[in-house]
Structure 1
Amino acid sequence: PLCIIDGNAITTLRTGAAGAIGLTLLARPESRSICIFGTGTQGRIQLRLALREMPGLDTIHYLTADGRPDAAFEAAFEDFAPAHSNQAAKAVGSSDIIITATPGSGPLFPPEAVRPGTHINAVGADTQGKRELPDGLLRRVRLFADDCEQSAAVGEGQWDTGCRAIEIGDLLTGKMPFRRDAADITVFDMTGLALQDLTVAEMLWRQARSRGTGTRVPWRW
């Protein structure tokens, strides 16, 4: 092996970075309000990078699995005064951006709550049987994915096989042009790619070598 790196840390950061890319490509630049489901490690990195890449955001609604406020989460984002909510439909309906970063145990809000012009980053569905989005929503949206086949097999696409996604990489390379209409609802289905972990790991390894950081370990094999 070339190096040993904390894989969990890399996965957390690269998933957050992928979400930020989705926002910059798909969300309305003038977005002001964001609703996040889940206040764990992934929810926090998604929100932190969203606030960095979307400087117009000034309102945060958040929902928790147990329905109670999360004091540590509020402290982490105290400059933005995040507001806890127990009313998913109301929080979704008043937000320009929605991030779902949960274990994917089931739909988190009713489809009619999503207003025109909203963007959704769906993070939690990455295995067969997992989901966060409600029935019927994907038929109303422009769907994007990190990998179309994977989205259809284990992501939100598994729940609506009639929907076709566009890969986010095709937007980045210009292969697929995209122009958002004001009323479009967009969804970025983030199932996660091992290639992203490997790419980031290689980047960190090269940076460590160039900076002389890290610990060298004798390896006889």
Structure 2
Amino acid sequence: MRSDARLLLVDKNVVERLLVPDDVIAAVREAFELHSRRHGRVFPVVREKLSTGGVFGIKSGDVGSQGLLGFKAAGFWPGNRSAGGEAHQATVLLFDPASGRPLCVIDGNAITTARTAAAGAIGLSLLSRQDSAVATVFGTGNQARAQLEFALQARPALRKVHYVSSDRAPRLEFEAGLAGRIELICTEDANAAVRQSDLVITATTGGKPLFEAGALRAGTHLNCVGADTRGKRELPDGALDTARVVADDLDQARGLGELQWMPQTPAVEIGDLLTGKIPLRRDPGDITVFDMTGLALQDLTVARLVYRKAVEQDLGTSVAWPW
């Protein structure tokens, strides 16, 4: 009954409890495959700078055949750090597509971190060499750490990771929990680290190129996370010239991702590789790039996973929401 309708609120602690890595990877893979088959729609992205110094965005979409409809409102507020808060903020809402009424409100920070890292793991599994042993990670925040955690799962041969912080100083909080699992080296010379690496993960705020294109060696794979807004970039000029480039969404990547700087670059979508619409080709000496701008469908499939688990386990806070 309309008067008995309820809205489920799922906070960050519950979300983090419910996000099992293998389940998240499966949900993100489903999102990419839905996108490839055009069974899911991605609506135009809103991404705007605010007078407060923040950036606000909305990613939305639906999967009509599955009754899945929703959006993520998210952005970046660097001033939060001075108050001890997280600069990235996100909230996901799922709706009943038949009536338009909201079903749940979910803290989106953990969802964003996990679904992006899961996408990175899928990219590594498809595009990087199985014997990849050395990586360089740019960034030391939540996303950089999550990308590394998922990379260790996707490429168990990894034994050494160079990491590059914004001021080139060690980050004990980034290293925490990784001791004994892998050799971690805080490096001051980004180019030297890249020259030694089979994998390069860029997970910064996307303010400028992070290394020189000449540092890339044959056979390297790059997961690029930080360029998600007009004007952002992490790769230097020349990095895409000879690379095999894969994007989560070509239109989005050419507008917001690394491909905005070379939109004419030949590229394919990762969903088309997963569904077999485009054959996967990678020679051992190829440099490959996964340009990750983040699909609304990723947010929706992972949010649905959280919503279903929360309902099954009677978690979250249910409030009256009559309509």
- Classify the TM-score, shorter chain: over 0.9
Alignment partner of 1:77 out of 159, 178, 186: 178
Alignment partner of 1:62 out of 163, 167, 174: 163
Contact 1:111 1:134 in 2 (8 A): yes
Alignment partner of 1:13 out of 99, 114, 128: 114
CA shift at 1:210, angstroms? Answer: 2.5
Task: Please identify which structure carries the higher helix content.
Answer: 1
2:317 corresponds to: 215
Amino acid at match of 1:188: F
Matches within 5 A, 1:38-187: 38-79=139-180, 80-187=182-289
* Cα distance in structure 1, aligned partners of 2:315 and 2:160: 39
Structure index of larger Rg: 2
* Percent identity over paired residues: 56
- 100-109 vs 67-76, which deviates more? 67-76
1:34 corresponds to 2:131: no
Q: Secondary structure at the match of 2:110?
A: helix
* Cα distance in structure 1, aligned partners of 2:308 and 2:155: 30
Kindly indicate whether structure 1 or structure 2 has the higher relative contact order, using CA contacts under 8 Å at least 6 residues apart. Answer: 2
2:298 corresponds to: 196
- Give the gaps of 5 or more residues in structure 1: none
Contact 1:74 1:81 in 2 (8 A): no
CA shift at 1:4, angstroms? Answer: 1.6
TM-score, normalised to structure 1's length?
A: 0.97
* Cα distance in structure 1, aligned partners of 2:261 and 2:185: 31
* Cα distance in structure 1, aligned partners of 2:206 and 2:153: 26
Q: Secondary structure at the match of 1:45?
A: helix
CA shift at 1:213, angstroms? Answer: 2.8
- Give the gaps of 5 or more residues in structure 2: 1-101
- After superposition, give the CA deviation of every residue in 1:168-218 in whole Å (9 maximum; x if it has no partner): 000111111112101000000001112211111112112222333333222
Amino acid at match of 1:58: R
* Cα distance in structure 1, aligned partners of 2:106 and 2:262: 37
Q: Secondary structure at the match of 1:83?
A: strand
* Cα distance in structure 2, aligned partners of 1:140 and 1:88: 21
* Cα distance in structure 1, aligned partners of 2:171 and 2:309: 36
Contact 1:102 1:124 in 2 (8 A): yes
Q: Secondary structure at the match of 2:319?
A: coil
Q: Secondary structure at the match of 2:170?
A: coil
- After superposition, give the CA deviation of every residue in 1:117-170 in whole Å (9 maximum; x if it has no partner): 000000000001000000011011000000001111111001112202110000
* Cα distance in structure 1, aligned partners of 2:263 and 2:315: 48
- After superposition, give the CA deviation of every residue in 1:41-67 in whole Å (9 maximum; x if it has no partner): 100000000001111001110000111
Amino acid at match of 1:71: L
* Cα distance in structure 2, aligned partners of 1:42 and 1:120: 15
How many residue pairs get aligned? The number is 221
Task: Please identify which structure carries the higher strand content.
Answer: 2
Q: Secondary structure at the match of 1:18?
A: helix
TM-score, normalised to structure 2's length?
A: 0.67
